[in-house]
Structure 1
Amino acid sequence: MNTHEQIVDVLVIGGGTAGPMAAVKAKQANPKLNVLLLEKANVKRSGAISMGMDGLNNAVVPGFATPEQYVREITAANDGIVNQKTVMAYARNSYDMIEELDRWGVKFEKDETGDYAMRKVHHVGTYVLPMPQGHDIKKVLYRQLKRTRVEITNRLVATRLILGEDGRVAGTFAFDCRTGDFHVVRAKSVVLCTGAAGRLGLPSSGYLFGTYENPTNAGDGYSMALHAGAELSGIECFQINPLIKDYNGPACAYVTGPFGGYTANAKGERFIECDYWSGQMMMEFWRELQSGNGPVFLKLDHLAEETIATIEHILHTNERPSRGRFHEGRGTDYRERMVEMHISEIGLCSGHSASGVWVDEHARTTVPGLHAAGDLACVPHNYMLGAFVYGRLAGESAAAYSQSNELAPVPLDQLEAERTRVWAPLGRTDGLQPNQVEYKLRRLVNDYLQPPKATRKMEIGLAHFETIRGDLDRISAAGPHELMRAMEVHAIRDCAEMAARASLYRTESRWGLYHARVDFPQRDDANWLTHVQVAQ
Structure 2
Amino acid sequence: MLSFDVLVIGGGGAGMRAAIEAARAHECSVALLTKAHPLRSTTGCTGGGINAVLNSADPDDTVEKYIKDTIVGGDYLNDQDAVEFFASQAASAVKELDRFGVPFFRDETGRIAQSRGGGASAPRVCWTLGHAIAHSLYEQYLRYEIYDLSDVFLLDLTVENGRLQGVIALNIQTGTVFPIAAKAVVMATGGAGRIYWQRTTDPVDCTGDGLAICLKAGIALKDTEFVQFHPTALAATGILLSEAARGAGAYLLNRDGERFMSRYEPEKMELATRDAISTAIETEIREGRGYGTGAGAHVMLDLRHIDRGILQDKLKQVYDAAVKFEGLDPSESLLPIRPACHYMMGGIDVVDFKTCTTSIPGLFAAGECACVSVQGANRLGGNALSEVVVFGKTAGAAAAAYAKSQLVSDHASLQDGVSCWQLRFASVRARQSGISLTKIRERLAACMWENVGISRNARSLQVALDTICELKQDYESVEIGDSQQRGNSAFVHYLEVGNLLDIAYAVTLGALSRRESRGCHQRSDFPARDDANFLKHTLISKIDGDFHVNYRPVSITKYLPTERKP
TM-score normalized by structure 2? 0.84
Sort the Cα spacing of 1:101 and 1:264 in 2 relative to 1 into closer, same or farther, 3 A. same
1:80-119 residue pairs with structure 2 within 5 A?
Answer: 80-119=76-115
Matched, 1:27 2:23: yes
The whole-number CA distance in structure 1 between the counterparts of 2:528 and 2:502 is 29
User: Residue 348 of structure 2 contacts residue 365 of structure 2 at CA under 8 Å; is this kept in 1?
Assistant: no
1:422 shift after superposition = 4.1
What amino acid does structure 1 have at the position aligned with 2:330?
Y
What amino acid does structure 1 have at the position aligned with 2:470?
T
1:88-167 residue pairs with structure 2 within 5 A?
Answer: 88-121=84-117, 122=119, 124-131=121-128, 135-165=131-161, 167=162
Q: Which residue of 2 aligns with 1:502?
A: 510
- 1:399-447 per-position Cα deviation (integer Å, ceiling 9, x unaligned): 0111112245466344433443344321212233432321222222234
1:497 shift after superposition = 0.9
The whole-number CA distance in structure 2 between the counterparts of 1:305 and 1:357 is 45
Segments of structure 1 that go 5 or more residues without pairing to the other structure are: 205-210
The whole-number CA distance in structure 2 between the counterparts of 1:279 and 1:221 is 26
Q: Which residue of 1 aligns with 2:303?
A: 300
Matched, 1:364 2:372: no
Sort the Cα spacing of 1:366 and 1:64 in 2 relative to 1 into closer, same or farther, 3 A. farther
User: Residue 6 of structure 2 contacts residue 29 of structure 2 at CA under 8 Å; is this kept in 1?
Assistant: yes
**SS of residue paired to 2:148:** strand
Q: Which residue of 1 aligns with 2:396?
A: 395
Stretch moving more, 485-494 or 332-341: 332-341
- 1:3-31 per-position Cα deviation (integer Å, ceiling 9, x unaligned): xx321110100001110100000010x23
User: Residue 94 of structure 1 contacts residue 389 of structure 1 at CA under 8 Å; is this kept in 2?
Assistant: yes
The whole-number CA distance in structure 1 between the counterparts of 2:342 and 2:507 is 9
1:322 shift after superposition = 5.0
User: Residue 245 of structure 2 contacts residue 318 of structure 2 at CA under 8 Å; is this kept in 1?
Assistant: no
Q: CA RMSD in A?
A: 2.2
User: Residue 265 of structure 1 contacts residue 271 of structure 1 at CA under 8 Å; is this kept in 2?
Assistant: yes
User: Residue 10 of structure 1 contacts residue 34 of structure 1 at CA under 8 Å; is this kept in 2?
Assistant: yes
Structure 1 segments of 4 or more deviating over 6 A? none
What amino acid does structure 1 have at the position aligned with 2:407?
E
Sort the Cα spacing of 1:402 and 1:276 in 2 relative to 1 into closer, same or farther, 3 A. farther
Sort the Cα spacing of 1:67 and 1:342 in 2 relative to 1 into closer, same or farther, 3 A. same
Sort the Cα spacing of 1:395 and 1:343 in 2 relative to 1 into closer, same or farther, 3 A. same
1:171 shift after superposition = 1.7
- 1:278-316 per-position Cα deviation (integer Å, ceiling 9, x unaligned): 323322222122234324211111233333333553435
User: Residue 194 of structure 1 contacts residue 220 of structure 1 at CA under 8 Å; is this kept in 2?
Assistant: yes
What amino acid does structure 1 have at the position aligned with 2:36?
A
Segments of structure 2 that go 5 or more residues without pairing to the other structure are: 292-298, 543-566
Stretch moving more, 95-104 or 299-308: 299-308
- 1:223-282 per-position Cα deviation (integer Å, ceiling 9, x unaligned): 0111111122111112211212113322323x2234322222223332331554332332
The whole-number CA distance in structure 2 between the counterparts of 1:239 and 1:422 is 35
Sort the Cα spacing of 1:57 and 1:147 in 2 relative to 1 into closer, same or farther, 3 A. closer
Q: Which residue of 1 aligns with 2:52?
A: 59
Q: Which residue among 529, 532, 537 is the counterpart of 1:523?
A: 529
Sort the Cα spacing of 1:112 and 1:517 in 2 relative to 1 into closer, same or farther, 3 A. closer
Q: Which residue of 1 aligns with 2:186?
A: 191
**SS of residue paired to 1:111:** coil
Sort the Cα spacing of 1:184 and 1:443 in 2 relative to 1 into closer, same or farther, 3 A. same
Q: Which residue of 1 aligns with 2:294?
A: none
- 1:348-385 per-position Cα deviation (integer Å, ceiling 9, x unaligned): 623xxx45543421211122111111111113134112
What amino acid does structure 2 have at the position aligned with 1:193?
A
Aligned length: 507
Q: Which residue of 2 aligns with 1:324?
A: 323
Matched, 1:487 2:486: no
What amino acid does structure 2 have at the position aligned with 1:47?
S
1:6-45 residue pairs with structure 2 within 5 A?
Answer: 6-28=2-24, 30-43=25-38, 45=39
Stretch moving more, 168-177 or 122-131: 122-131
Sort the Cα spacing of 1:135 and 1:237 in 2 relative to 1 into closer, same or farther, 3 A. closer
Matched, 1:200 2:195: yes
Q: Which residue of 2 aligns with 1:248?
A: 238
The whole-number CA distance in structure 2 between the counterparts of 1:324 and 1:90 is 37
**SS of residue paired to 2:502:** helix
TM-score normalized by structure 1? 0.89
User: Residue 222 of structure 1 contacts residue 357 of structure 1 at CA under 8 Å; is this kept in 2?
Assistant: no
